[in-house]
Chain A
């Protein structure tokens, strides 16, 4: 009997708790963030971007639709960086919290399961944290991605290498996770097409802690350019061990980790490392909608007390794109907003945003371009400079990397 009572009580508690009354002029946006678990750092950046956008919009009186203005309200939960939680929480966001629109969790691995739910309920979800293309190839109708997808991450690095050292011997060493594998698979093809020689192409387990033997293997392969890495600690460890073990690379491109300001902790090991970036402070696009880079960076710093990085910028852009689409549609109905998103082609401080509309890739980003940032000494301090493409660069490239 005890058991029955407990079941019933828990069921009742779950059912009646938190019945959020929908206020008249509010738009509810739901998402999960990885407050705990390994994705916490990147996810936090993205979440700050989301929140900054919400605060900005609300301060400006909300989103204006046909003479009415809607304030934006967020509902958010911790997904623990675990895929299994995401479906439970997105269902809850849609059904219990009555979210009108959804933002994606961080990473492809979490976005994919969330998509099953949002598509099932026909809700729009805008993605800025999962760069992998596979979820866009399964016929989804309401999923949109504002960032450049995985297969273009290292295009810039390959182009730059082709220009500076057409005879470079590449070592591609990357984490065994979906995102990194997709990025490097595309990079390997682009390298071959550019006539660069790939002398090593291997993935390592994401839980690898000591890269000593791997660095030795890179040295043995006679490579002089390194492309790879994956997520957070592995990328940083690789950079440090290549430096400690004097691997003498002329070129090092590492995914994700060097885009964070904490990468400067590595000191000399960080110098010269390049990172493909969705956005950098030095990038200057003329926005048709929303703030300029300078305005964004300053306001973000004032409000969030943190330097804006690309996760924050892309998170913010998700909001801007949604806002733009709602205003264009003149409605908050899903189908009208989705149509507006399909027709979107705007440039914000983040760059140009346009979505693929063919059924095989619906929602994939079709226009945004990445830049390549390099860690250089600026006034005696380590900082990132944009070095590629040429037309966007804020400093000359350091090639080859100077060993100390």
Chain B
């Protein structure tokens, strides 16, 4: 759907406003602690939104979304560290390379359906992590440490962290608009059809293998860039952090919590989940029980709000369905 038509819908502007508030909130009062919390939110939102392209639209459960994030991180950090590329170029190359790789992976494993696909993606995470642990140019299991002066081109560490924050928010914003644009397009309709009934979709003329490979590849691009930014910011990357299966699982949980297949729901789900975890981690009351409390809260939500957050909102405020997508 052309951009102009999207811009006529209120959701476009709601999204824009939300992203602007998100970007500017920590600027007031130079609130760096808030910035650090929000940048993790942005990472989760980016991961979950892109995962949602596969999960919510095409109906494929991907445990391997973290592979895109980690490989993007490695590519970017490696280019910056070994070849002294500028950050922007490294990020772009990371995004493109990982998307291409995803296309190749996708053509292989997208022949699988349902749980088989899900398991294959688990296998890919483990295989890629084990590979990175043995791959010497990436420092094997020791990973890559960046020296303190990598932040100099961005105006020193203090300024660099702000620059990285804004870039991350931009990546998050692009992810949300990408989900939104795909959902409102013919491509998106084809994906939704695949998600509902793949055989019927193919018989209706949806070119299923192509669409699946394309969306798998598309869902790799922004997470790869986010990974690049994230590990550049950490100035350190190692296989166990880059390919942490838990983060993939969390992204799935978040997308289901928010309401898979929706744009706003997934973003809010990611935001709330991460804020909740962050709060529990730093609250002295729950210090020893934070895992238990997060688990219990999640369970309650799963049991009593089956449609996810958006399902709940749609049911109780039916009018929102026209505005929030």
| Pairing of A with B | yes
From B141, B247, B313, residue with most partner A Cβ within 10 Å? B141
CA–CA, A91 and B278, complex, Å? 13
CA–CA, A77 and B36, complex, Å? 15
Given A3-B267, A203-B141, answer yes or no on A140-B241 (Cβ-Cβ < 8 Å). no
- List B residues 219-249 near A (Cβ within 8 Å): 230, 233-236, 238, 240-241, 244, 247
Q: Which B residues touch A135, using CB under 8 A?
A: 145
CB distance B271 to A10 under 8 Å?
Answer: yes
CA–CA, A91 and B158, complex, Å? 12
CB distance A82 to B157 under 8 Å?
Answer: no
A40 to chain B, nearest CB (A): 11
**Residue of B whose beta carbon sits closest to that of A134:** B145
CA–CA, A10 and B320, complex, Å? 21
A281 to chain B, nearest CB (A): 29
Q: Which of B21, B147, B288 is the one whose CB lies under 8 Å from A7?
A: B21
- List A residues 174-212 near B (Cβ within 8 Å): 176-178, 181-182, 203, 205-206
Q: Which A residues touch B34, using CB under 8 A?
A: 11, 14-15
A403 at the interface (CB under 8 A from B): no
Q: Which A residues touch B238, using CB under 8 A?
A: 83, 109, 178
A89 at the interface (CB under 8 A from B): yes
* Interface SS of chain A: helix
CB distance B141 to A4 under 8 Å?
Answer: no
- List A residues 195-239 near B (Cβ within 8 Å): 203, 205-206
CA–CA, A22 and B17, complex, Å? 36
CB distance A84 to B40 under 8 Å?
Answer: yes
Given A14-B37, A82-B241, answer yes or no on A91-B32 (Cβ-Cβ < 8 Å). yes
CA–CA, A369 and B299, complex, Å? 51
- List A residues 249-305 near B (Cβ within 8 Å): none
Q: Which A residues touch B38, using CB under 8 A?
A: 11
CB distance B37 to A88 under 8 Å?
Answer: yes
A327 at the interface (CB under 8 A from B): no
Q: Which B residues touch A57, using CB under 8 A?
A: none
Q: Which of B35, B141, B287 is the one whose CB lies under 8 Å from A176?
A: B141
CB distance A138 to B145 under 8 Å?
Answer: yes
B55 to chain A, nearest CB (A): 20
CB distance A78 to B18 under 8 Å?
Answer: no
A245 at the interface (CB under 8 A from B): no
B31 to chain A, nearest CB (A): 6
A365 at the interface (CB under 8 A from B): no
CA–CA, A95 and B271, complex, Å? 22
B22 at the interface (CB under 8 A from A): yes
CB distance A78 to B287 under 8 Å?
Answer: yes
CB distance B141 to A177 under 8 Å?
Answer: yes
CB distance A134 to B36 under 8 Å?
Answer: no
A212 to chain B, nearest CB (A): 19
B284 to chain A, nearest CB (A): 9
CA–CA, A82 and B242, complex, Å? 11
A157 at the interface (CB under 8 A from B): no
Q: Which A residues touch B36, using CB under 8 A?
A: 87-88, 91-92
CB distance A78 to B142 under 8 Å?
Answer: no
Given A2-B320, A89-B282, A120-B157, answer yes or no on A84-B230 (Cβ-Cβ < 8 Å). yes
CB distance B236 to A7 under 8 Å?
Answer: no
Q: Which B residues touch A23, using CB under 8 A?
A: none
Q: Which A residues touch B275, using CB under 8 A?
A: 10, 14
CA–CA, A76 and B69, complex, Å? 29
CA–CA, A3 and B10, complex, Å? 14
B268 at the interface (CB under 8 A from A): yes
A80 at the interface (CB under 8 A from B): yes
Q: Scan B126-140; emit 1 where CB is below 8 A from any A CB, else 0.
A: 000010011000001
**Residue of B whose beta carbon sits closest to that of A116:** B235
Q: Which of A14, A84, A119, A138 is the one whose CB lies under 8 Å from B157?
A: A119
**Residue of B whose beta carbon sits closest to that of A140:** B148
CB distance A85 to B281 under 8 Å?
Answer: yes
Q: Which A residues touch B14, using CB under 8 A?
A: 1, 3-4
A113 at the interface (CB under 8 A from B): yes
B140 to chain A, nearest CB (A): 7
A6 at the interface (CB under 8 A from B): yes
Q: Which of A15, A80, A92, A206 is the one whose CB lies under 8 Å from B240?
A: A206
Q: Which of A3, A84, A95 is the one whose CB lies under 8 Å from B234?
A: A84
CA–CA, A116 and B21, complex, Å? 27
CB distance B142 to A182 under 8 Å?
Answer: yes
B94 to chain A, nearest CB (A): 18
A378 at the interface (CB under 8 A from B): no
CB distance A138 to B147 under 8 Å?
Answer: yes
CB distance B236 to A77 under 8 Å?
Answer: no
- List B residues 294-325 near A (Cβ within 8 Å): 313, 320, 324
CA–CA, A83 and B282, complex, Å? 16
A353 at the interface (CB under 8 A from B): no
**Residue of B whose beta carbon sits closest to that of A78:** B281
Q: Which A residues touch B22, using CB under 8 A?
A: 7
CA–CA, A2 and B309, complex, Å? 11
CB distance B236 to A78 under 8 Å?
Answer: no
CB distance B33 to A96 under 8 Å?
Answer: yes
B146 at the interface (CB under 8 A from A): yes
B298 to chain A, nearest CB (A): 16
B291 at the interface (CB under 8 A from A): yes
Could you pull out 9 A-B pairs where Cβ atoms are within 8 angstroms?
A2-B268, A7-B18, A14-B37, A14-B275, A109-B238, A112-B234, A116-B234, A138-B147, A178-B143
Chain B residues proximal to chain A, CB less than 8 Å: 14, 17-18, 21-22, 25, 29, 31-40, 43, 130, 133-134, 140-143, 145-149, 151, 157-158, 161, 230, 233-236, 238, 240-241, 244, 247, 264, 267-268, 271-272, 275, 278, 281-282, 287-288, 290-291, 313, 320, 324
Chain A residues proximal to chain B, CB less than 8 Å: 1-4, 6-8, 10-11, 14-15, 18, 35-36, 77-78, 80, 82-85, 87-89, 91-92, 95-96, 109, 112-113, 115-116, 119-120, 132, 134-135, 137-140, 176-178, 181-182, 203, 205-206
Those 9 A-B pairs whose CB atoms lie nearest each other, nearest first: A120-B157, A178-B142, A138-B147, A91-B36, A112-B236, A96-B33, A176-B141, A116-B235, A83-B241
